[in-house]
Homo-oligomer: A and B are copies of this chain.
Amino acid sequence: MQVNEQTATELARRKQITDAAIEVIADLGYGKASFARIVEHAGLSSTRMISYHFADKSDLVMAVLVSAIAAGDEVLDARIAGVVDRVELLRAHIEARVEYLRTHPKHLRAVVEIGTGAREPMYAVVLRDFRVGRLQRQLHQGQREGVFGQFDTAVVAEAVASALDGAAQRAAAEPDLDLTAYGRELADLFTRAVRP
């Protein structure tokens, strides 16, 4: 299939660039992640390469976001598959995010960096859904079923998301951090907190 093959190279290049961008953003922060540093990391010849494959910087960043979020949701979906208990679902959600941080440290770091460093409202929508969207819906459902107490789901979802952001920050600073234990602690913390 010619069409697919034509696109294959293009897709491979885009992936090479987004992967490099993820690493650079994770390592240097959103502010320092210039085209020059990304091409250097990707082993490309010039920044022109990026401009050729992406309309502009926000196009690249959006591609990074989509890619990283897809990977994160994959981990999440796999972890919560089959879990029905609401409390266990919350635990699974938190632990899945920390597991994602463990298996894809650069990906999650990049998302957090973009979330905090970038100011384009363009990213806010997709970031919001990744950070608090699903979680808040779960919390809301748990309240309706009576398994959770009465609290502001927006506040709690934001608190959980922020705690996971904080975990990413700490993990970056302390590479030896035991993330599995960290995830369990966070899950314990919030499952206690949502009890009726």
Residues of chain A touching chain B, judged by Cβ–Cβ distance below 8 Å, are 28-32, 116-117, 119, 124, 149, 151-152, 155-156, 158-159, 161-163, 165-167, 169-170, 173, 181-182, 185-186, 188-190, 192-195
Contact = CB atoms under 8 A, between A and B. Distances in A.
Contacts of A119: 28-29, 32
A151 B32 CA distance: 36
B159 A159 contact: yes
Nearest to A182: B155
Contacts of A173: 124
A117 to B, nearest CB: 6
Contacts of A167: 158
Interface centre among A149, A163, A194 (most CB of B within 10 A): A163
Interface centre among A166, A170, A188, A194 (most CB of B within 10 A): A166
Contacts of A170: 158
Interface centre among A28, A155, A156, A186 (most CB of B within 10 A): A155
Contacts of A193: 189-190, 192-193
Contact of A166 (B159, B181, B195): B159
A162 B156 contact: no
B188 A151 contact: yes
B117 A151 contact: no
